[in-house]
Amino acid sequence: MKNQVLFENIKISVEAIRSHLLRSILTILIIAFGIMALVGISTAIDALEKSLAENLMMMGSNTFSIRNRTMRVQVGNNVKRSKHYEPIKFRQGMDFKEKFNYPAFVSVFTTATWNATVTYQSETTNPNIGVLGTDENYLITSGLELERGRSFGRQEVYFGNSVAIIGAEIAKNLFKNNEDPIDKHITVGSGKYRVIGVIKEKGTGMGFTPDRQVLIPITNARHYFSRPNMSYTINVLPEDMMDIDDAMGEAAGLFRIIRQNKLYEEDDFDISKSDQLLQMLFENTRNIKGAALIIGFITLFGAAIGLMNIMLVSVTERTREIGIRKSIGAKRLAIRNQFLVEAIIIGQFGGVFGIILGILAGNIVTIFTKTSFVVPWLWIVFGALLCLIVALISGIVPALKAANLDPIESLRYE
């Protein structure tokens, strides 16, 4: 019996919505816009966070890096001139690698170029290949794996042999018909290199991908890709991930000695965990998500007023209908529920359209970051509940007004 009454209420509500289609559509669109703003901005932020997280995972989540410190300008009451920091030199990086006694893997590397062309016989890549000069530990500290072949040997790094490890995309573009790249000779820039390894495919994150990189021994890169003020980066991967903070403290102290920083001087280098950038992003995006919530709530507040107005108008226009229903036995509860169901249906229609549009709009970001499609389940559930709450708040006053109408006065209403 209860199910029959519920279905009857839904049927009457749908007919009422159809009879005032324009007003209903406008209200649905207002609700949809609020939910779209909420879900869309949140989805876009989630896509950016996912892309950056994938990018940082390529570096190894338990790794910390020592890099050259960039120029900084202090803004405020005490304005200081921007200061130039000396680049990290090759000898400094190698000294650190030799003297760092903490149980960890240490790698020293540098960027040779980001616009190299790689050639094999008649096949040539686009001039967008990154070339890194690395040592024998780089693959371990960067979280990369080899699909085939091997890494550099210590002797190859020491003597600067012309050997190379190539990314998966380069291997696919240069070596057709599943030809094995190992021991083949390729041209990188102006030099000839023998391929000894192929990096397992990783994909792209924020425009960065090891699939389009060539790794060569760091001493070879110093010789063939030398440039003024060439700076080197040090990656450190502690053997025990729980010791990363202690290892960072040890590394900072040792590198201050190597860089000859005086006691009263600040560090002239940056040392940071690979996941710190992600944490900074999460902190910054909280404000953006908060702004999205405010925009969504303001829009939904307007939608709630509009929905309540439509329901009140609907009660007024259907006063005689309510009187007839009451005169043939309809109870106050049934009348109230009919109008509540009507408000909920409009709210959920708006919620569904808003969620779909928000997901589609937010995932536009994934096209540019080349990450997988993001479905924000938490925000979907939150959006649906929010629409239900809006509908209940907007519908309760008109529903109670309809339920409390006097049947005799209602029948006389024109």
Integer Cα distance of 32 and 38 in angstroms: 10
Residues of the chain above pLDDT 90, percent = 25
Integer Cα distance of 276 and 19 in angstroms: 57
Measured between alpha carbons, how far is residue 371 from residues 50, 159, 177, 363 in Å? 8, 40, 28, 9
Helices (H) and strands (E) in the chain, counts: 14, 12
Query: What pLDDT is stored for residue 334 in this prediction?
Result: 78
Query: What pLDDT is stored for residue 79 in this prediction?
Result: 44
Residue 178's pLDDT band (boundaries 50, 70, 90)?
A: confident
Return the higher-pLDDT residue of 335 and 125: 125
Per the listing, tokens 């209903």 go with 24
Return the higher-pLDDT residue of 335 and 49: 335
Query: What pLDDT is stored for residue 78 in this prediction?
Result: 47
Residue 71: pLDDT over 60? no
Residue 136: pLDDT over 80? yes
- Tally the residues of the chain: 414
Query: Strands 269-273 and 118-120, how do they pair?
Result: unpaired
| pLDDT tens-digit series, residues 22-62 | 877 888 888 888 788 788 877 887 777 777 666 655 555 57
Q: Tell me which residue of 323, 80, 358, 107 sits closest to 232, measured CA to CA.
A: 107
**Residues of 328-337 as b/e, b for ≥16 C-beta within 10 angstroms?**
eebeeebbbb
Q: Which CB contacts under 8 angstroms, 24+ apart, belong to 327-334?
A: 327/407, 327/411, 332/403, 332/404, 333/403, 334/5, 334/9
Residue 395's pLDDT band (boundaries 50, 70, 90)?
A: confident
Q: Kindly state the average pLDDT of the residues 152-168.
A: 93
Residue 246: pLDDT over 70? yes
Give Cα 129 to chain centroid, integer Å.
Answer: 25
Query: What pLDDT is stored for residue 389 in this prediction?
Result: 85
Return the higher-pLDDT residue of 147 and 393: 147
| pLDDT tens-digit series, residues 3-21 | 666 676 677 677 777 777 7
| pLDDT tens-digit series, residues 189-231 | 888 999 999 999 876 554 567 889 999 999 999 988 988 888 9
Residue 84: pLDDT over 80? no
Measured between alpha carbons, how far is residue 90 from residues 93, 157, 303 in Å? 5, 13, 63
**Mean pLDDT over all residues of the chain?**
81
Query: What pLDDT is stored for residue 73 in this prediction?
Result: 40
In DSSP notation, 168-206 reads HHHHHHHS-TT---TT-EEEETTEEEEEEEEEPP---BT
Integer Cα distance of 79 and 307 in angstroms: 54
Residue 409: pLDDT over 60? yes
Q: What is the largest CA-CA distance in the chain?
A: 103
338: helix, strand or coil: helix
Integer Cα distance of 347 and 151 in angstroms: 60
Residue 344: pLDDT over 90? no
